[in-house]
Copies of this chain bind each other. A is one copy, B any other.
Amino acid sequence: MNCTKCPTSTRAVIGLPRHNAAFCKACFITFVHEQVARAIKSFKMLSPEDRILVAVSGGKDSLALWHILLTLGYRADALYVNLGIGSYSEESHRKVRHYADTVAASYGAKLLVHVVEQEAGAGIRELATILHRPTCSTCGTIKRYQFNRAAIEQEYDVMATGHNLDDEAARLLGNVLHWQNDYLDKQSPTLPASVEGFAKKVKPLCRLSEREIAAYAVVNRLDYIVEECPMAKGSKMILYKEVLNRLETESPGTKQRFYWGFLDKQAKPDEPAESMADKDQRTLVPCDSCGQPTTAGTCTYCKMMAKAKTAAPR
């Protein structure tokens, strides 16, 4: 299989059935950068002067995102939240640190780190048990809180996450199967900042599939943690991804048509969908403990931390 773009027909490193194309290494890297640039432009994600905070986990998507943004010339720092899930967290932390030291530092970019155990006195698993909440929902609350807080307090213009086409299509499938209108409204790849303290959030990888990002990480020798989070096994998102992969195999381009078609239907690029933050504007007030936006009194995060400290003093 030869590259369908090169005039000299170099040998292809990847075939992309949904684009009816195959690319050599150089053309594939160009393709990925162009897809990210198109997403950034269509959804008004970033300006050249923006200070960006990338949410990194040590996985392929978030490290590839950090790498692409730096390569494209953006000013992008990153925040890693260490969840305290034994060897999984140790290894992912090492991978992030390695990329920060060997690559990001040469662009003048820095890595911020938040360690859940240091603040909460327990890792995510113990915390979920103490709080009688599912692990993934506890983790989601903590990560959203920490990323938003860091972005706001350290005055980043925008927060970027590594959600890819597969993530967004799977989430859309879940929301459509349950006709979750509130969540459907939040599926835009750009959510604007709100006056009471939600940072602007963007998903620059939303035009690229998981497989394409994995290939990008490999050809760029990005050292990422391959293992999925051990807490995510049996999750609905994994099921939805499997189902979409089945449909994609039978009919290449299904995920793209499904997700992009939804975005086209949802909002014109010039009229970004009303964000959840905007909708909540009427009811949000600063948390009386930490000052982050919340619906009333003390925010969920601060309540969680208070409960964790009472229940599990170290």
Contact = CB atoms under 8 A, between A and B. Distances in A.
Interface of A: 176-179, 181, 236, 239, 242-243, 246-247, 250-251, 254, 257-258, 261-262, 264-265
A246 B247 contact: no
Copies of this chain held together in the complex: 2
A158 B89 CA distance: 64
Q: Main SS of chain A's interface residues?
A: helix
25 contacts: A176-B176, A176-B258, A177-B254, A177-B257, A177-B258, A178-B257, A178-B258, A178-B261, A179-B257, A179-B258, A179-B261, A179-B262, A179-B264, A179-B265, A181-B265, A236-B250, A236-B251, A239-B246, A239-B247, A239-B250, A242-B246, A243-B243, A243-B246, A243-B247, A246-B246
A262 B184 CA distance: 14
A176 B177 CA distance: 10
A253 to B, nearest CB: 10
B177 A247 contact: yes
A251 to B, nearest CB: 8
Contacts of A258: 176-179
A253 B236 CA distance: 14
A235 to B, nearest CB: 11
